[in-house]
Amino acid sequence: MDVVLWIIAGLLAVAFLAAGATKLTQPKDKLAQNMGWVEDFSPNAVKAIGALEVLAAVGLVLPAALDIVPVLTPLAALGLVLVMIGAAVTHARRQETQMIVVNVVLGVLAAIVAWGRFGPYSFTG
């Protein structure tokens, strides 16, 4: 199961690093072409969401890989669960049902990492 958690964390890290970097580097107008939800937020809020996603991506892998404050790994996963709940609420308000499914899948995967790294497969044991 430890290997499965590493794989899930790695895949989530790649996905959120890419998504967050996009939000941080692209202007809101360009993001709006593919992400209609950005119209509901200020440019600074979109950048903040991107920064949270990048930080969580780094937190999913580096603390555990470097054995430096490894408790940050499940905390990063828990943070992503919260981000995905917010994203699902946003998409529900906009009636973007397909995106809610994506949010739920990513949130469940992050929750699995949080559960495993806080519990039976933590790095402290």
pLDDT digits (tens, 9 = 90+) for 59-85: 999 998 998 999 999 999 999 999 999
User: What is the pLDDT averaged over residues 14-28?
Assistant: 97
The per-residue pLDDT for 1 is 85
pLDDT bucket at 121, cuts 50 / 70 / 90: confident
What number of other Cβ atoms are within 10 A of residue 12's Cβ? 22
Q: What is the pLDDT of residues 80-102, one digit of tens each?
A: 999 999 999 999 999 999 999 99
- Nearest of 84, 81, 19 to residue 50 by alpha carbon: 19
Helix axes 2-25 and 72-93, enclosed angle (nearest 10): 60
Q: Mean pLDDT of all residues in the chain?
A: 94
Question: What global pTM score does this model have?
Answer: 0.91
pLDDT at 88: 97
Q: How many C-beta neighbours within 10 Å does residue 91 have?
A: 19
Which percentage of the chain shows pLDDT scores above 90? Answer: 91
> CA–CA separation, 47 vs 105, rounded Å?
23
Read off the pLDDT band of 125 (50, 70, 90): very low
Place of tokens 């899948």: 105
Using DSSP, state whether 25 is helix, strand or coil.
helix
pLDDT of residue 15 exceeding 80: yes
